[in-house]
Amino acid sequence: MAKSTYVYVIYIRTTPEKLWAALTDAEFTQRYWFGMRSESAWKAGSPWKLVDGKGEVWDAGEVMEVDPPRRVVLRWHHQNKPELKAEGDSFCTMQLEPEEAAVKLTITHTIDREHSKVIEAVSGGWPKVLSNLKSLLENGALALDEPYHAKRAS
Amino acid sequence: MKDPNLLFKALADPSRRKLLDVLYAHDGQTLGELCTHLDMTRQAVTQHLGLLEAANLVATQWRGREKLHFLNPVPLQQLYERWIAKFEKPRLNALSALKRKLENPDG
Protein backbone atom coordinates (compact mmCIF):
# COMPACT_ATOMS: atom_id res chain seq x y z
CA MET A 1 0.00 0.00 0.00
CA ALA A 2 1.85 3.14 -1.22
CA LYS A 3 0.02 5.35 1.21
CA SER A 4 0.67 7.16 4.46
CA THR A 5 -2.31 7.29 6.78
CA TYR A 6 -2.57 8.63 10.29
CA VAL A 7 -5.64 8.26 12.47
CA TYR A 8 -6.45 10.37 15.53
CA VAL A 9 -9.34 9.62 17.84
CA ILE A 10 -10.53 11.74 20.75
CA TYR A 11 -13.69 11.61 22.87
CA ILE A 12 -15.08 15.00 23.82
CA ARG A 13 -17.97 15.55 26.23
CA THR A 14 -20.06 17.79 24.01
CA THR A 15 -22.72 17.56 21.27
CA PRO A 16 -22.03 16.92 17.56
CA GLU A 17 -23.46 20.39 16.78
CA LYS A 18 -21.11 22.19 19.18
CA LEU A 19 -18.12 20.17 17.97
CA TRP A 20 -19.05 20.85 14.35
CA ALA A 21 -19.21 24.59 15.08
CA ALA A 22 -15.83 24.40 16.83
CA LEU A 23 -14.25 22.72 13.78
CA THR A 24 -15.78 25.01 11.16
CA ASP A 25 -15.87 28.47 12.76
CA ALA A 26 -12.61 30.34 12.01
CA GLU A 27 -13.00 32.59 15.08
CA PHE A 28 -13.24 29.46 17.23
CA THR A 29 -10.46 27.42 15.55
CA GLN A 30 -8.12 30.35 16.19
CA ARG A 31 -8.60 29.81 19.92
CA TYR A 32 -7.38 26.19 20.09
CA TRP A 33 -5.45 25.72 16.78
CA PHE A 34 -2.52 27.88 17.87
CA GLY A 35 -3.90 30.98 16.13
CA MET A 36 -4.86 29.21 12.87
CA ARG A 37 -8.17 30.11 11.21
CA SER A 38 -9.84 27.27 9.30
CA GLU A 39 -11.72 29.25 6.63
CA SER A 40 -14.35 27.94 4.22
CA ALA A 41 -18.02 28.28 3.31
CA TRP A 42 -18.20 24.52 4.15
CA LYS A 43 -20.22 23.52 1.06
CA ALA A 44 -19.15 20.74 -1.30
CA GLY A 45 -16.62 22.29 -3.69
CA SER A 46 -15.93 25.40 -1.53
CA PRO A 47 -12.31 26.44 -1.21
CA TRP A 48 -10.75 25.80 2.22
CA LYS A 49 -7.68 27.29 3.83
CA LEU A 50 -5.79 27.34 7.10
CA VAL A 51 -4.49 30.87 7.74
CA ASP A 52 -2.29 32.19 10.55
CA GLY A 53 -2.77 35.46 12.48
CA LYS A 54 -0.71 37.40 9.91
CA GLY A 55 -2.89 36.24 7.03
CA GLU A 56 -0.31 33.75 5.73
CA VAL A 57 -1.87 30.63 4.18
CA TRP A 58 -0.32 27.41 5.57
CA ASP A 59 -2.62 24.88 3.95
CA ALA A 60 -5.23 25.20 1.23
CA GLY A 61 -7.60 22.98 -0.71
CA GLU A 62 -11.29 22.39 -0.97
CA VAL A 63 -14.25 20.75 0.70
CA MET A 64 -14.69 17.43 -1.11
CA GLU A 65 -17.63 16.08 0.90
CA VAL A 66 -19.64 17.65 3.69
CA ASP A 67 -22.45 16.30 5.87
CA PRO A 68 -22.94 18.51 8.95
CA PRO A 69 -22.59 17.64 11.82
CA ARG A 70 -21.23 14.22 10.91
CA ARG A 71 -18.48 14.30 8.32
CA VAL A 72 -16.26 16.51 6.21
CA VAL A 73 -13.51 15.55 3.76
CA LEU A 74 -10.90 18.14 2.83
CA ARG A 75 -8.37 18.15 0.02
CA TRP A 76 -5.38 19.51 1.89
CA HIS A 77 -2.32 20.94 0.16
CA HIS A 78 0.43 22.38 2.32
CA GLN A 79 1.59 25.81 1.07
CA ASN A 80 4.24 27.11 3.44
CA LYS A 81 7.30 24.84 3.36
CA PRO A 82 8.59 24.04 -0.16
CA GLU A 83 9.53 20.41 0.61
CA LEU A 84 6.04 19.73 1.98
CA LYS A 85 4.28 21.67 -0.76
CA ALA A 86 6.08 19.50 -3.33
CA GLU A 87 4.26 16.41 -2.03
CA GLY A 88 0.95 17.77 -3.36
CA ASP A 89 -2.51 16.89 -2.12
CA SER A 90 -3.35 15.04 1.06
CA PHE A 91 -6.85 14.23 2.26
CA CYS A 92 -8.26 14.85 5.70
CA THR A 93 -11.51 13.29 6.89
CA MET A 94 -13.16 14.47 10.09
CA GLN A 95 -15.87 12.18 11.41
CA LEU A 96 -18.13 12.92 14.38
CA GLU A 97 -20.07 10.11 16.07
CA PRO A 98 -22.15 10.54 19.24
CA GLU A 99 -21.23 7.96 21.88
CA GLU A 100 -23.10 8.14 25.19
CA ALA A 101 -22.49 11.61 26.69
CA ALA A 102 -19.58 12.33 24.35
CA VAL A 103 -18.71 12.67 20.70
CA LYS A 104 -16.05 10.49 19.13
CA LEU A 105 -14.01 12.63 16.74
CA THR A 106 -11.90 10.67 14.25
CA ILE A 107 -9.42 12.51 12.05
CA THR A 108 -7.92 10.46 9.22
CA HIS A 109 -5.14 12.13 7.27
CA THR A 110 -3.93 10.32 4.15
CA ILE A 111 -1.50 10.98 1.32
CA ASP A 112 -0.80 8.76 -1.65
CA ARG A 113 2.90 8.21 -0.96
CA GLU A 114 5.02 6.34 1.54
CA HIS A 115 7.09 8.11 4.23
CA SER A 116 5.30 11.41 3.60
CA LYS A 117 6.84 14.50 5.21
CA VAL A 118 3.43 16.20 5.18
CA ILE A 119 1.88 13.41 7.22
CA GLU A 120 4.91 13.39 9.52
CA ALA A 121 4.50 17.16 10.03
CA VAL A 122 0.78 16.94 10.81
CA SER A 123 1.34 13.96 13.11
CA GLY A 124 3.05 16.24 15.63
CA GLY A 125 0.28 18.83 15.37
CA TRP A 126 -3.00 16.94 15.50
CA PRO A 127 -2.69 15.48 19.04
CA LYS A 128 -1.93 18.95 20.48
CA VAL A 129 -4.72 20.64 18.52
CA LEU A 130 -7.26 17.97 19.53
CA SER A 131 -6.20 17.99 23.15
CA ASN A 132 -6.62 21.79 23.21
CA LEU A 133 -10.01 21.54 21.50
CA LYS A 134 -11.20 19.02 24.10
CA SER A 135 -10.05 21.20 27.01
CA LEU A 136 -11.70 24.27 25.50
CA LEU A 137 -15.05 22.55 24.87
CA GLU A 138 -15.13 20.70 28.19
CA ASN A 139 -13.57 23.23 30.56
CA GLY A 140 -13.45 26.51 28.67
CA ALA A 141 -9.65 26.60 29.00
CA LEU A 142 -6.69 25.55 26.88
CA ALA A 143 -4.23 22.77 27.67
CA LEU A 144 -1.39 24.44 25.74
CA ASP A 145 -0.96 28.05 24.61
CA GLU A 146 1.91 27.30 22.27
CA PRO A 147 2.51 24.21 20.15
CA TYR A 148 6.04 23.88 21.51
CA HIS A 149 6.94 24.65 25.08
CA ALA A 150 9.11 27.73 25.26
CA LYS A 151 12.07 27.20 27.57
CA ARG A 152 11.35 28.82 30.88
CA ALA A 153 13.97 31.34 31.98
CA SER A 154 15.57 29.97 35.13
CA MET B 1 -8.59 11.10 28.64
CA LYS B 2 -11.29 8.49 28.18
CA ASP B 3 -10.34 6.63 31.35
CA PRO B 4 -6.83 7.14 32.73
CA ASN B 5 -6.93 3.74 34.47
CA LEU B 6 -7.47 1.97 31.16
CA LEU B 7 -4.60 3.95 29.67
CA PHE B 8 -2.13 3.09 32.43
CA LYS B 9 -3.27 -0.52 32.44
CA ALA B 10 -2.79 -0.73 28.67
CA LEU B 11 0.73 0.69 28.93
CA ALA B 12 1.69 -1.56 31.85
CA ASP B 13 2.27 -4.65 29.71
CA PRO B 14 5.45 -5.16 27.64
CA SER B 15 3.64 -7.00 24.81
CA ARG B 16 1.19 -4.13 24.43
CA ARG B 17 4.03 -1.60 24.40
CA LYS B 18 5.70 -3.76 21.74
CA LEU B 19 2.49 -3.63 19.67
CA LEU B 20 2.53 0.18 19.91
CA ASP B 21 6.17 0.21 18.74
CA VAL B 22 5.33 -2.11 15.86
CA LEU B 23 2.47 0.19 14.80
CA TYR B 24 4.69 3.24 15.20
CA ALA B 25 7.18 1.66 12.77
CA HIS B 26 4.44 0.71 10.33
CA ASP B 27 0.93 2.01 10.88
CA GLY B 28 -2.28 0.46 9.58
CA GLN B 29 -1.58 -3.29 9.97
CA THR B 30 -3.98 -6.22 10.02
CA LEU B 31 -4.17 -8.68 12.92
CA GLY B 32 -2.28 -11.25 10.83
CA GLU B 33 0.56 -8.81 10.12
CA LEU B 34 0.79 -7.82 13.80
CA CYS B 35 0.96 -11.50 14.84
CA THR B 36 4.18 -12.00 12.86
CA HIS B 37 5.96 -9.56 15.21
CA LEU B 38 4.92 -11.25 18.44
CA ASP B 39 5.64 -14.72 19.71
CA MET B 40 2.12 -15.44 20.95
CA THR B 41 -1.20 -16.87 19.79
CA ARG B 42 -3.60 -14.95 17.60
CA GLN B 43 -6.14 -14.92 20.48
CA ALA B 44 -3.60 -13.37 22.85
CA VAL B 45 -2.76 -10.64 20.32
CA THR B 46 -6.50 -10.00 19.81
CA GLN B 47 -6.93 -9.58 23.57
CA HIS B 48 -4.01 -7.16 23.83
CA LEU B 49 -5.39 -5.14 20.90
CA GLY B 50 -8.79 -5.05 22.63
CA LEU B 51 -7.24 -3.46 25.72
CA LEU B 52 -5.28 -0.98 23.59
CA GLU B 53 -8.48 -0.09 21.76
CA ALA B 54 -10.41 0.33 25.03
CA ALA B 55 -7.70 2.77 26.14
CA ASN B 56 -8.08 4.58 22.78
CA LEU B 57 -4.40 3.94 22.00
CA VAL B 58 -5.34 1.92 18.93
CA ALA B 59 -7.97 2.97 16.39
CA THR B 60 -9.32 0.56 13.79
CA GLN B 61 -10.67 1.14 10.32
CA TRP B 62 -12.14 -1.26 7.79
CA ARG B 63 -10.59 -1.26 4.34
CA GLY B 64 -12.83 -3.65 2.39
CA ARG B 65 -12.71 -6.92 4.34
CA GLU B 66 -9.52 -6.01 6.18
CA LYS B 67 -9.52 -4.48 9.64
CA LEU B 68 -6.51 -2.18 9.94
CA HIS B 69 -5.01 -1.07 13.26
CA PHE B 70 -3.61 2.43 13.74
CA LEU B 71 -1.63 3.91 16.60
CA ASN B 72 -3.64 6.80 18.10
CA PRO B 73 -1.16 9.13 19.83
CA VAL B 74 -3.82 11.47 21.29
CA PRO B 75 -4.05 9.83 24.78
CA LEU B 76 -0.24 9.93 25.04
CA GLN B 77 -0.33 13.68 24.39
CA GLN B 78 -2.98 14.02 27.12
CA LEU B 79 -0.89 11.89 29.48
CA TYR B 80 2.11 14.11 28.72
CA GLU B 81 0.14 17.28 29.45
CA ARG B 82 -1.35 15.89 32.64
CA TRP B 83 1.61 14.02 34.13
CA ILE B 84 4.84 15.42 32.68
CA ALA B 85 4.58 18.98 31.36
CA LYS B 86 3.29 20.41 34.59
CA PHE B 87 5.93 18.89 36.86
CA GLU B 88 8.90 21.18 36.81
CA LYS B 89 10.06 20.51 33.29
CA PRO B 90 13.30 22.54 33.47
CA ARG B 91 14.54 20.46 36.42
CA LEU B 92 13.68 17.21 34.67
CA ASN B 93 15.56 18.45 31.59
CA ALA B 94 18.62 19.17 33.72
CA LEU B 95 18.48 15.69 35.25
CA SER B 96 18.10 13.91 31.92
CA ALA B 97 21.00 15.96 30.49
CA LEU B 98 23.12 14.91 33.47
CA LYS B 99 22.15 11.24 33.01
CA ARG B 100 22.99 11.39 29.29
CA LYS B 101 26.34 13.00 30.00
CA LEU B 102 27.33 10.50 32.70
CA GLU B 103 26.17 7.46 30.76
CA ASN B 104 27.68 8.49 27.40
CA PRO B 105 30.79 10.52 28.25
CA ASP B 106 31.79 10.66 24.56
CA GLY B 107 28.31 11.35 23.14
0.85 surpassed by complex ipTM? no
Tens-place pLDDT, residues B15-48: 999 999 999 999 999 999 999 999 999 999 999 9
d(CA A68, CA A96): 9
* Mean pLDDT over each residue of chain A, to the nearest integer: 88
d(CA A119, CA A110): 7
Tens-place pLDDT, residues A83-122: 999 999 999 999 999 998 899 999 999 998 888 888 878 7
> What percent of chain B is predicted at pLDDT more than 70?
94
Chain A residues in contact with B56 by the CB 8 A cut-off are 9-11
* Statement: residue B101 has pLDDT above 70: yes
Tens-place pLDDT, residues A12-46: 999 999 999 999 999 999 999 999 999 999 999 99
* Statement: residue A149 has pLDDT above 50: no
d(CA B32, CA A69): 35
* Statement: residue A154 has pLDDT above 60: no
Fold of A4-137: Alpha-D-Glucose-1,6-Bisphosphate; Chain A, domain 4 (3.30.530)
Chain B residues in contact with A11 by the CB 8 A cut-off are 2, 56
Helices (H) and strands (E) in chain B, counts: 6, 2
Nearest neighbour of B81 by CB, restricted to A1, A9, A131: A131
Read off the amino acid at residue A92. C
Model confidence band, residue A145 (pLDDT cutoffs 50, 70, 90): low
Does A91 lie at the interface with B, CB-CB under 8 angstroms? Answer: no
What's the CATH number for B4-103?
1.10.10.10
* Statement: residue A1 has pLDDT above 60: no
Nearest neighbour of B27 by CB, restricted to A6, A131, A143: A6
CB B73 within 8 A of CB B52: no
- Interface with chain A: mutation pick from B3, B77, B82, B86, highest number of A CBs within 10 Å: B77
